[in-house]
């Protein structure tokens, strides 16, 4: 069984500083907004829809970051080959509000804090996604420009 999802690293500029959005999933881990593609959607449309549904923020895609692939076993005990497309997304509107049925929380962080939280509490495969976003934003991997 194959499954395609999409999401992104959402950022905004506040007083000339970049802030990175992170979510806390229902398992208490730090991660990025993402979700399954619906019939008729492109991966880009999926990314923007999922970001807005999970975080309340409307975004604009700037660039693709990475594609992550992994395998897991679902609730029906089926093996699923999952592919997740990640984009760099600039926040352009909306109001920050976690989709409580799906996630535990959402917040903005300095790049340095976002990197620390990812390293301490995030999923390993998101290291390369966040570092890819930092490169596109002209930041060092530790979040410092």
Domain covering 2-136 in this structure, CATH number: 3.90.79.10
Query: In this model, does residue 144 exceed pLDDT 90?
Result: no
Query: In this model, does residue 40 exceed pLDDT 60?
Result: yes
pLDDT in tens, 102-129: 788 999 999 999 999 999 999 998 999 9
What's the pLDDT at 85?
A: 98
What's the pLDDT at 102?
A: 79
Q: Which residues pair with 107 in a beta bridge?
A: 22
What's the pLDDT at 101?
A: 80
Q: What is the C-alpha separation between 131 and 116, in angstroms, rounded? A: 12
**Domain spans of the chain?**
2-136
Short-list 49, 38, 31, 45, CA closest to 122: 31
Tell me the pTM. Answer: 0.92
């Amino acid at each position: 069984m194959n499954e395609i999802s999409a999401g992104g690293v959402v950022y905004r500029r506040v007083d000339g500083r970049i802030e990175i959005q992170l979510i806390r999933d229902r398992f208490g881990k730090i991660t990025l907004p993402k979700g399954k593609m619906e019939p008729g959607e492109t991966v880009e449309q999926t990314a923007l829809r999922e970001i807005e549904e999970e975080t309340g923020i409307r975004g604009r895609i700037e660039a693709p970051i990475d594609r992550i692939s992994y395998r897991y076993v679902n609730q029906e005990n089926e093996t699923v080959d999952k592919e997740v497309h990640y984009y760099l997304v600039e926040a352009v509107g909306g109001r920050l509000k976690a989709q409580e049925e799906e996630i535990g929380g959402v917040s903005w962080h300095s790049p340095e804090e976002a990197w620390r939280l990812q390293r301490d509490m995030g999923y390993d495969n998101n290291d390369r996604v966040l570092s890819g976003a930092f490169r596109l934003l002209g930041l060092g991997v530790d979040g410092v420009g």
